[in-house]
Amino acid sequence: MTVRTGAPRTAVEVPVEDARALRRVLGRFATGVAVVTAMTPHGPRGMTVNSFASVSLDPPLVLFAAARSSSQHGAFARPGPFAVHVLGEDQRAVSARFAAPGLDRFDGQEFVPGEDGTPLLPAALAVLECRAEQVVRAGDHDIVVGRVGRATKAVDGPAVRPLLYYGGSYRKVSDEYDGDIDWSPLLL
Ligand X SMILES: Cc1cc2nc3c(=O)[nH]c(=O)nc-3n(C[C@H](O)[C@H](O)[C@H](O)COP(=O)(O)O)c2cc1C
Q: Toward ligand X, which CB reaches closer, 2 or 169?
A: 169
d(CA 131, CA 145): 8
Q: Toward ligand X, which CB reaches closer, 61 or 67?
A: 67
* 135 sits near ligand X (criterion: CB under 6 A): no
Quote the least distance from Cβ 57 to ligand X, whole Å: 22
Q: Which of 38, 39, 63, 65 forms a contact with ligand X (CB under 6 A)? A: 65
Quote the least distance from Cβ 1 to ligand X, whole Å: 31
* 76 sits near ligand X (criterion: CB under 6 A): no
DSSP string, 53-66: EEEEETTEEEEEEE
Q: Toward ligand X, which CB reaches closer, 48 or 91?
A: 48
d(CA 141, CA 136): 9
d(CA 102, CA 138): 25
Neighbours of 85 (CB within 10 A): 28
* Contacts to ligand X from residues 87-126, by CB under 6 A: 95, 99, 101
* Stretch in the footprint of ligand X (CB under 6 A) among 16-24, 65-73, 107-115, 146-154: 65-73
Quote the least distance from Cβ 72 to ligand X, whole Å: 5
* 75 sits near ligand X (criterion: CB under 6 A): no
* 48 sits near ligand X (criterion: CB under 6 A): yes
Q: Which of 50, 124, 129, 146 forms a contact with ligand X (CB under 6 A)? A: 50
| Cis upstream peptide for 59 (omega within 30°) | yes
- Position 12: which residue type? V
H helix and E strand count, the chain? 3, 14
Question: With contact defined as beta carbons under 8 Å apart, do 163 and 50 qualify?
Answer: no
d(CA 139, CA 19): 13
By the criterion CB under 6 A, which residues form the site for ligand X? 33, 47-51, 64-67, 70-72, 95, 99, 101, 165
